[in-house]
Amino acid sequence: MLLAACGPSRSVTTYVAPLPVSRIDSILTASAAQYRLLARELPAGRFPRNWDPAAGKLNTSGSDWWCSGYYPGTLLYLYERTKDTALYREALRMLPLLEKEQHNTGTHDLGFMMFCSFGNALRIAPKPGYEDILVQSARSLATRYSPVTRSIRSWDSNKDEFLVIIDNMMNLELLFWASKHTGDSTFRNIALTHANTTIANHFRPDGSSYHVLNYDDKTGAVKQKRTAQGYSDASAWARGQAWGLYGFTVLYRETKGQRYLDQAVRIADFLLGHPRMPADGIPYWDFDAPAIPDAPRDASAAAIMASALLELRFYADGSFNASRYVQAAEKILVTLSSDAYRAAAGTNGGFLLRHSVGHLPAKSEVDVAITYADYYYVEALLRYRDALTYHPRKK
Q: Torsion angle, CA of 356/359/361/365, rounded to 10 degrees?
A: -60
Beta strand pairing status for 212-215 and 222-226? Answer: antiparallel
pTM of this prediction?
0.95
pLDDT tens for 115-148 read: 999 999 999 999 999 999 999 999 999 999 999 9
Between these two residues, 189 and 10, which has the higher pLDDT value?
189
Mean pLDDT of 259-269: 97
Please say if 160 is a catalytic residue.
no
pLDDT tens for 332-369 read: 999 999 999 999 999 999 999 999 999 999 999 999 99
How does residue 391 score in pLDDT terms, banded at 50, 70 and 90?
A: low
pLDDT tens for 231-259 read: 999 999 999 999 999 999 999 999 999 99
pLDDT for the residue numbered 90: 98
pLDDT for the residue numbered 7: 36
Which one is catalytic: 167, 286, 367, 374?
167
Q: What is the DSSP string of 173-198?
A: HHHHHHHHHH--HHHHHHHHHHHHHH
pLDDT for the residue numbered 8: 34
pLDDT tens for 12-43 read: 445 678 999 999 999 999 999 999 999 999 99
Please say if 280 is a catalytic residue.
no
What's the CA gap between 153 and 156, in Å, rounded? 7
Is residue 10 pLDDT above 70, yes or no? Answer: no
Which one is catalytic: 84, 109, 286, 298?
109
pLDDT for the residue numbered 1: 39
How does residue 5 score in pLDDT terms, banded at 50, 70 and 90?
A: very low
Given a contact cutoff of 8 angstroms between Cβ atoms, the answer to whether 369 and 356 are in contact is: yes
Tell which phi-psi region holds residue 363, choosing left (phi > 0), alpha (psi between -120 and 50) or beta: left
β-pair partners for 48: 60
Is residue 6 pLDDT above 80, yes or no? Answer: no
Between these two residues, 359 and 316, which has the higher pLDDT value?
359
SS3 61: strand
Is residue 155 pLDDT above 60, yes or no? Answer: yes
Read off φ and ψ for residue 55, nearest 5 degrees.
Answer: -95, -10
Q: Where are the domains of the chain?
A: 1-41+237-395
pLDDT for the residue numbered 159: 82
1-41+237-395 CATH: 1.50.10.10
Angle (CA) 198-202-207 rounded to 5° is 110
pLDDT for the residue numbered 11: 41
